[in-house]
Chain A
C-alpha cells in the first residue's frame, strides 16, 4: 500500500525528517507516536503533498507508484486521505456541497460520471448513521462554528464518504472528550477493510485503547527509532518519551 524509503525533508533549509522508512500493507493499522516537534505532522503533510516542504532524498511509493511528482489533489484522487489535526473552516460551503464536489472531482479523475444525487444522499444517510452524527450536520458550513469534537467527527465522516485506500489521521484524538473519542474510534474501526489501511498519528496511548494498531512506530527527532507491536504503546505510556530519548 505505502512504502516510504529513506525520506528526507527540509523546511527552509532545516532538515525535519532525516531518513524515514515505513511499510504499510493493505488491511493494517499503524500508529506513529512521538513527542511534539519530532516531525509527525510534517510526515503526514509530505505524504499528502502539501507545498512548502522540500524533499531532498527518498521516495514515497503509494500503490506501486512514486507519488512525489503528484499534486495534493491527484494524490487524494489516487485514494489518499488526511484527517487534519486542525480542520479549517470554509464559510458558506455546506458539507453536502463540499463532499459532492470532492466526490465528483475524484470520479472525474477516474473517468467516471458525477454521482447521481439520489445515490449520493443515500450514502450520506448511511455514513451519518454509522458515525452517529446529528441530522443537521450535513447542511452546516464546513467546520464553521464546530466544536473540537464536531470537527474531528466531520473528518471521519468525510473519510467514510470518500472511502480512501489509505487514511492518515493526524492527532485525531486531540481535543476530544471520551465520548467523542469513542465515536471517532468506532468509526475508524467500522471503516477498516482488508483492502484499506490507516496510519494513526497520536501523542497519547489513549486512542490506541480504541483503535488497536498492528504496528506502533516511535518517531523521534526526524527518524523512526523504534517499531513494534501494540505493547510498544503501553511501554511508552509507562516509561514516557524520556525512555526513548535515553535509548536513542
Chain B
C-alpha cells in the first residue's frame, strides 16, 4: 500500500537548496582577521570621513569588551572571528553608467536568481539596489526617485553624498554598543542601503534591495538606514539567496528605521540563505539587529518577514514606540527544516501614550530543526492606554523537530492591555488524506496547508513578494525542486 506518514514527511522535507552555485568574480579582499588595522583598511578603502572612522573604531574597541550572547536557543561551533575576511568587493575599473558595463558574469548570477536587472526595471516598476557581497553594483530608478526628492542609494554613496543625514541618524536606533553583533557590524560594516523620504512624500515605488553572499569565508556586514520624514511613506523590500558553500558564513547586519511624525515605513523581508545540507553542515549564520523607532506621534513601522533560510537565524525586528499614538507591527513566518535553528521574534517597546503594537508569529518546523519565538512587550509607566496583541503559532511537521515560545511581558501601568495567544499544531493525517483524496500529492498538500497556515502573514507582503514567498515556503518543505 502506501508509505507511512513519517516516511512521506521525511521525503518531502529533504529538498536540496535550489540556489547553490558560485560566481567567479575578481575580488578585492582585506587581510584575514579583525584588528584596528582591518577597521582602518575598510574605512580607507571607502574614502570615509574621519567621524565615521572614529565611529568604527569606538565600536571595535567596545566589541573587544563584549562576549557573544548565549541566551538564544541555538547551538553552533565557536565562530572564529580572526579567520574571517572582513572586506571583499568586486573590483571596479570605472564608474558604471549602464547595465552594459556590469560584469556579464554578475548579470548571469542575477539571471540564475531570476532577478535580471533589466527585467526588474521594465516589468515590475521596482527600483533595485543590488548588492553582491559588499559593494553596490548598480542602482536603478534613481532619476524617478530624485524627482520626488527620495534618496535611495548604497550606504557608501550616502556617506559620500549625504554625510549630514547619515551622521544624524546612523546609530540613533541601534547604537554601536547595543549588542555584540551590532558592535561588530558597526566596526566593519561593508555596505548596504540608505533611504531617505522627505517630508510629505509618498514614495511612488516599492524599494527593493537584493543581498547576496558570494565570496567564500567572507563575513558580510550590511547596514541599512531608512529615514521617513514627517508625513512620508515608504515600502521597502529586502530579499536574498546565497550560493552553496561548505564553510559557515557569518552574517551580522544592522537595519535602522526612523519614522518621524505621521510617517509610515513598511519593511518586508524574504530571506532564503543557504541553510546548510541535510546533515546540518554549512549554511549561513544570520545574527541581525533590526530596529525601528516611531519617533513622532501617529507614526507607524511594520515589519513583515518570511524566513526560510540560514543555518542559524538570530533576529528580533523591533519597534520603539516613542511618539504618542504610534503603531508597531511584526508579522513573521519562520520555516526551519533539517538541522536549521531559528530564534526569532520581536520587541515592542511602548514609551508613548496610546501606542499600539501587533505581533503575529508563525513558526513552521520540520526535520530535526528547532524553531523558537522570543518576544518582549514592554510598556513603561508613561505609556498610558498602550495596547498589544501577540499571537504565536507553531506548526510541527514530523516528530523530531522542536518549537518553543518565550514571551516576555513587562507592564508598568494599569491602563494598558496586553494579550498573548499561543498555539501549537501538527499537520494531521486527516488533513493530508483529505487533500490526497482530491488528487493532491503529499508535497503539494503540505505546501497548501503551510501556505494556508501562514496566510495571515503573507497577506502583509507586497504583491510581487507574496508570490515569491509562497513558492519559497513550498520549496523549503518539499522535495519537488524545479
Contacts and interface: CB of A to CB of B under 8 A. Distances in A.
Interface of A: 48-51, 53-55, 68-69, 71-73, 76-77, 81-82, 84, 87-88, 90-93, 97-99, 101-103, 105-106, 109, 141, 158, 162
Nearest to A144: B452
Contact of B5 (A51, A54, A97): A51
A73 B438 CA distance: 7
A35 B5 CA distance: 31
A185 B4 CA distance: 36
Interface of B: 1-5, 428, 430-431, 433-442, 444, 448-449, 451-456
25 contacts: A48-B437, A49-B1, A49-B2, A49-B436, A55-B1, A68-B1, A72-B437, A73-B440, A76-B437, A77-B439, A82-B437, A84-B434, A84-B437, A88-B434, A90-B434, A90-B448, A90-B452, A91-B453, A92-B451, A93-B448, A93-B449, A97-B448, A105-B439, A106-B439, A162-B438
B436 A76 contact: yes
Contacts of A50: 433, 437
A170 B71 CA distance: 53
A98 B448 CA distance: 8
A102 B444 CA distance: 9
A71 to B, nearest CB: 5
Contact of A73 (B430, B436, B449): B436
A109 B449 contact: no
B456 A92 contact: yes
Nearest to B450: A92
Contacts of A82: 437
Given A88-B428, A90-B431, A101 B444 contact: yes
Nearest to A141: B452
Given A49-B2, A53-B1, A92-B456, A73 B451 contact: no
Interface of A is mostly: mixed
Interface of B is mostly: helix
A55 B4 CA distance: 15
Contact of B452 (A53, A76, A87, A91): A91
A122 B410 CA distance: 54
Nearest to B5: A51
A193 to B, nearest CB: 20
Given A51-B1, A68-B1, A76 B448 contact: no
A53 B429 CA distance: 14
A72 B436 contact: yes
B209 to A, nearest CB: 29
Contacts of A49: 1-2, 436-437
Given A77-B439, A90-B435, 9 more contacts: A51-B4, A71-B436, A76-B437, A76-B438, A81-B437, A92-B452, A98-B435, A101-B448, A106-B439
Contacts of B456: 92
Contacts of B438: 76, 98-99, 102, 105, 158, 162
Contacts of A101: 440, 444, 448
A117 to B, nearest CB: 15
Contacts of A105: 438-441, 444
A167 to B, nearest CB: 11
B451 to A, nearest CB: 7
A35 to B, nearest CB: 24
A73 to B, nearest CB: 4
Contacts of A68: 1
Contacts of B428: 88
Contacts of A51: 1-5, 433
A96 to B, nearest CB: 12
A73 B448 CA distance: 15
A156 B63 CA distance: 65
A97 B2 CA distance: 26
Contacts of B455: 92-93
Contacts of A106: 439
Nearest to A84: B434
A18 to B, nearest CB: 19
Contacts of A77: 439
Contacts of B444: 101, 105
Contacts of B431: 88, 90
A16 B449 CA distance: 32
Q: Which 5 A-B pairs have the closest CB atoms?
A: A92-B452, A93-B452, A92-B455, A76-B439, A102-B438
B433 A72 contact: yes
